[in-house]
Structure 1
């Protein structure tokens, strides 16, 4: 079975900018049966592909960040929907898991055997190939002295290396 030969554009305008204002460049992600996007204060937008009734701004989870214009990224990791909060110029990284039963963000203490790769616009999760790379968050630091380096955080002590 094949899909259509042509792509069809389906615009879904944000009709409620006061409730949800994702930063430019942060992409929505596909998680289970829907697309999700998040704005800088942790408000979640969702599009359920099974219902096909457009985007909605979820009343929960409640905003967890106030007046913060640093990016939030979403990623699926080990079956969970995670929010990655990046501080100013990568000075800090915090991870939250969406508890769907309570519809609230819960801070994550460990990624277990997973690792995350973060860029300015997206985030990718993978199972670590060895114990030295588990529970780490890797991201490029492309602006340092004109050269590209790879930094990482480890969650137990939030140390940057």
Structure 2
């Protein structure tokens, strides 16, 4: 380790010693800082799960704990910085690790990319926040987006919503670009794209901008967005896929595929995911009635760019998908991974099923095994919220 100059090369520390250090840590924050010491130490994320006691990513960030407090008690709690959020690793879902994160108090998480969360509060302020380093950047206010005060319903009538409803329903999802392997601590060259309003249109902004720039397009009702091959690809409610090249001015949509047609029933939710350099579209199907909803099936399709058609695939090989309010990703599973291969791990992101209905979101979480189609819970506890249910945090050091 000492190269003779008196300088210690920490990258040469052995795996056993690294595991020993990790097991002396007491918080997820310490674990994160350990993995950031040097490139070689990022291997702490792939060490044998039985050897490391601290939760390993991917991490499930749980909903804010519910406490019946007065407004004065809420203010005191925030000022005293005692607000905590729970984190669970798939290597031990029975153990919840908590962090003091007053920055997340009563904020709705509308996205996560790598270590970064995108949140909005009741004052419509939007932040990009790293819960491990507690670094924070500001995006333009939600109030700079158009169509703030009218929500359109299927019967054609307009109605005014409360500020809480705006916070809960207006922003559907925010995704960050990641032009390099890692989004650095200064968020250099990072662009955020937001899906907003009842028509689910798109807008872009950079940290420090005064306002969002709306993208003028005929495409509405966007279901999901990813940053794929240096472009923002999106899919809408009829399965039509297009992309935006944000280096162009003006930004215009280039359509990749037309309306998705299937021999099956109605698709309740579409996702886009990069998988081994390929573009996947995931179809999610619900069982739903007046009292509850739950996911009952997934189907996965790969886009063939040569013939411009979607082809169904039955297996992800050694990979698994992680879906929800997070940026949709595929991760390579191995013998030391905390998750199984050929599965879809999902959280509850069906906003229309809970926000404004009095029903708490977060119950529709699980893991779907693509081999047999079974869906089972990945978290044995209960973590629900009226406005911000659990979501995945997936450090980009896990991306392939």
Range into which the TM-score falls when normalised by the shorter chain: 0.7 to 0.9
Deviations 1:104-156 (A, max 9, x none): 1111111111111121575222111338701111123699x987585211222
Partner residue in 1 for 2:282: 84
Partner residue in 1 for 2:373: 158
| Correspondence 1:21 to 2:220 | yes
By how many angstroms is 1:91 displaced? Answer: 0.8
Partner residue in 2 for 1:140: 347
Greater fraction of residues in strand:
1
| Correspondence 1:61 to 2:288 | no
Task: State the Cα RMSD in Å.
Answer: 3.4
Aligned with 2:271: secondary structure? strand
Q: Runs of at least 4 residues of structure 1 off by over 6 A?
A: none
Q: Is the 8 A contact 2:273 2:329 kept in 1?
A: yes
Number of residue-to-residue matches in the alignment: 153
Gaps of 5+ in 2: 1-187, 190-205, 287-293, 355-359, 377-400
Gaps of 5+ in 1: none
Q: Is the 8 A contact 2:270 2:282 kept in 1?
A: yes
Partner residue in 2 for 1:10: 213
Distance in 2 between the 1:6 and 1:33 partners? 22
- Considering only CA atoms, is the larger Rg found in Structure 1 or Structure 2? 2
Aligned with 1:7: secondary structure? coil
TM-score by length of 1: 0.75
Q: Comparing 89-98 with 123-132, which one deviates more in the overlay?
A: 123-132
Deviations 1:48-96 (A, max 9, x none): 24544423251x5232247946110111121111111110131111111
Q: Is the 8 A contact 1:73 1:122 kept in 2?
A: no
In structure 2, relative to structure 1, the CA distance for the partners of 1:159 and 1:47 (3 Å cut) is: same
TM-score by length of 2: 0.33
In structure 2, relative to structure 1, the CA distance for the partners of 1:55 and 1:28 (3 Å cut) is: farther
